[in-house]
Structure 1
Amino acid sequence: MSKWFDETLERIKKATGTRTQVQLAEILNIRQSSISDAKRRSSIPAEWYIKLYKTHGLNPEWLSDGVEPVYMKPGKGKISADNILSETTAQYGQVPSRGRVVPVSSMAGEESGSEQWAPQQVGELNIPETFYRPSMVVLKVEGSSMEPAIRRNAFAGVDETQKRLMAGDIYAVHVPYQGVVIRRVFFDPENSRFILRPEDPQHPELYIAVQDQNKLVVGRVVWVMQEV
């Protein structure tokens, strides 16, 4: 029973990107002592499976017994258990970095004609473990509006917890009925709005009202991977 529990807990931690009990408790929205209790009993509470299905789309049967598919929600089934559970090594100079395979979403999202943006998987990417965070969505950059800083077909890691706009930083912002754009943000105090400015002046500036930032901002771009 202890071996089954350890394997199940390992699948949960790998799939959610957590390493410590503190991180796992935060993901599950429970007290850390609840994890210690589960370990002592060698039993995974049923509500954990329900929460992980609702928040991450994870298949309870895979978590419990390793039976694929990993995901039960549309758009996530392309990632195999082998990819999630494997750990690869990427070299940056002489420093080895553990790798993680993550889903990549299109900027158009699940439904381009919607007021709300939802990610739609179009591929996978192996990123250094240090790049990963549970609150991240990875976008495949479409278009040339941010060239030369961010080129077409680059991959942009967006932290969805960082929605508060800070002047000069780069954010992913949802434009209703169009999809997500990536722009550098500046504040326009005279009109109480934010300017979404492209790097390439051939592309237009966009604007969002101050009160709309929490609704429209997907998150801050925290890293970019692209060919040199």
Structure 2
Amino acid sequence: MSTFEEVFERIKLATNTRTQVELAEVLDIRQSSISDAKRRNSVPSDWYMKLFEKFGLNPDWLKKASGPMYLRTEQGYQPLDAPAAGMVLEDPARYGDPDAKSSVVTVHSMHCEVTEQGGGPLKAIGKLSVPQSYSGPSVQVVRMDASSMEPLVRKGAYVGIDTAQKNVVSGELYGVYVPYEGVALKRIFLDAEKARFVLRSENPAHPEQYLPVDKHAERIVGRVAWVLQRF
């Protein structure tokens, strides 16, 4: 059986509603009833009946994402068990997947003041629509404004940096506060013998830089989670 959230997402998809307020109007109930159902993690049975009567929605599809979405159409009671000849029916349940829905995130410039205590606030320079699973409270999006990581990360690319991941895994990509530059992308390696991290660019024209181990907590922004760019 699906969770409340999974059923709730299918209901919103099928009724073209986005909020609890809008859905409450569709179901002719109080918004508090939706909050109560969410807290109990249980969809009331009368919701299914209302959705069938009003939209012809199949309760089994709402509950388990199985079978046709509709049991009744404008032409009457017409359950569809299989696609008609020459026609492919797409499973609408996939549109409830986080990768099928988008979120609008703020894009920041990589330029900022850098001190011994870390970097200053980044300047917002635009918005970007990304898959919902790519966004989150700990993900900060920047636009690459240098060629130091080419050809891996091109100038102009959008980069999602997970600020919750600051523990260094050697060889991985991180956003780092660099004096006179702001935020830079670097591949980080531990040099334990000299108690420092080696910061490397993909572009061989850019020399290695170094970060004392005891400064990494203030200077590392986070680990690169994703890159969106044109080839």
TM-score using structure 1 length = 0.56
Report the counterpart of residue 142 of structure 1 in structure 2.
145
Deviation at 1:165, TM superposition (A): 1.1
Determine if the alignment matches structure 1 residue 157 to structure 2 residue 160: yes
Contact 2:139 2:163 (8 Å CA) reproduced: yes
Bigger Rg over Cα: 2
Deviation at 1:177, TM superposition (A): 4.0
C-alpha separation between the residues in 1 aligned to 2:118 and 2:222?
17
C-alpha separation between the residues in 2 aligned to 1:150 and 1:187?
22
Change (3 A) 1:190 1:158: same
Deviation at 1:196, TM superposition (A): 0.6
Contact 1:115 1:177 (8 Å CA) reproduced: no
C-alpha root-mean-square deviation of aligned residues, in Å? 2.7
Which runs of 5 or more structure 1 residues have no equivalent in the other structure? Answer: 8-20, 22-34, 37-90
C-alpha separation between the residues in 2 aligned to 1:119 and 1:141?
13
Determine if the alignment matches structure 1 residue 182 to structure 2 residue 185: yes
Report the counterpart of residue 98 of structure 1 in structure 2.
101
* Aligned sequence identity (%): 38
Deviation at 1:117, TM superposition (A): 2.7
SS in 2 for 1:164: coil
Contact 2:99 2:133 (8 Å CA) reproduced: no
Contact 1:115 1:176 (8 Å CA) reproduced: no
| Structure 2 counterpart of 1:211, one-letter code | D
Report the counterpart of residue 200 of structure 1 in structure 2.
203
Report the counterpart of residue 222 of structure 1 in structure 2.
225
Matches within 5 A, 1:77-92: none
Deviation at 1:143, TM superposition (A): 0.8
- Give CA deviations for 1:161-215 in whole Å, capped at 9, x if unaligned: 1111110100000013430110101111221100010001101111101111110
C-alpha separation between the residues in 1 aligned to 2:189 and 2:164?
19
SS in 2 for 1:211: helix
Contact 2:174 2:223 (8 Å CA) reproduced: yes
C-alpha separation between the residues in 1 aligned to 2:220 and 2:118?
13
| Structure 1 counterpart of 2:167, one-letter code | R
| Structure 2 counterpart of 1:122, one-letter code | I
C-alpha separation between the residues in 1 aligned to 2:195 and 2:118?
22
| Structure 2 counterpart of 1:205, one-letter code | E
C-alpha separation between the residues in 2 aligned to 1:159 and 1:123?
19
Deviation at 1:112, TM superposition (A): 6.3
Change (3 A) 1:171 1:96: closer
C-alpha separation between the residues in 2 aligned to 1:96 and 1:192?
41
| Structure 1 counterpart of 2:157, one-letter code | A
Which among 161, 170, 174 is matched to residue 171 of structure 1?
A: 174
C-alpha separation between the residues in 1 aligned to 2:114 and 2:190?
27
C-alpha separation between the residues in 1 aligned to 2:99 and 2:177?
36
SS in 2 for 1:150: coil
